[in-house]
Amino acid sequence: MIPLSVQLRSLRQPLRKALQTAGELKANAVEIDLRNEVRPEELTQTGIRHLKKMLADYNLKIASVSFPTRRGYNVLDDLDRRVAATKAAMTSAYDLGAKVLVNHIGGIDPEISAESNSRLLEVLHDLARHADICGVTFATKTGQVDGTAMKQFLDQLPEGSIGVDFDPGALIINGFSADESYQALAKYVVNVRGKDGVKDLARGRGIEVPIGRGTVDFAMLIASLEEARYRGFICVEREHPEYPVQEVSDGLEYLRNIQIP
């Protein structure tokens, strides 16, 4: 059975309470936001020990950390500071025992040889080197382009440099095929989002819905992950929950049930 984690931000609770809730929901692990929940500069050795103690109290570990920058690494303005902050977050991720750091990388030009893509590749190569030193994997979020386009872009980096945080719901919301994108990106996937979506013809794009109520075929996705001997987590996330704890609980239950032989 693929282990399940909870994005703490989805619970809409203070950190300590969110950890308690995740433990009560019998999640295997959590994802912590290193910009809005815990900041790297606050993680002294005492702070790290305290957080690890709380995790142990609730029988949890950290599956991944997120470091959501306002802009991607394709934007030149303030880029050096953004890269330095991401590297600091990677070091903190390692200190906390997380193996994956997740962020969006920014826009990819459809013209694969575009100069903007070349600059972005240079930055990602630099981040990947630091991630390797830290013992973590930098994982780019999916959703802004289809899986084939992202694969063509990532294939230009040395093998093993960058991972993918596969978000089937975001792909559907943006009008792409989650299944085709997974097939393209399978070798890169190091983290998976438990997030669902449906097309909304009235809005001209998709909308997020509770897990199991959209068009993501999680049974097929899990079968594909198992076939690929995936060793990561599926992280339950709700971007706009009406009833945060209940919806996260329902998502965990749904993903457990479809994994029961």
| pLDDT at residue 203 in the model | 75
| pLDDT at residue 143 in the model | 92
| pLDDT at residue 189 in the model | 98
| pLDDT at residue 13 in the model | 97
CATH number of domain containing 181:
3.20.20.150
pTM of the model: 0.95
| pLDDT at residue 93 in the model | 94
- Tally of structural domains, the chain: 1
Alpha carbon of 250 to those of 39, 192, 254, 256: distances in Å? Answer: 30, 17, 6, 10
**Residues 6 or more apart from 52 whose CB is under 8 A from it?**
96, 97
| pLDDT at residue 202 in the model | 77
| pLDDT at residue 47 in the model | 87
Residues with pLDDT less than 50, the chain: none
φ, ψ for residue 181, nearest 5 deg: -65, -40
| pLDDT at residue 41 in the model | 80
Contact (CB, 8 A) for 101 and 31:
no
Q: Which domain holds residue 203?
A: 4-258
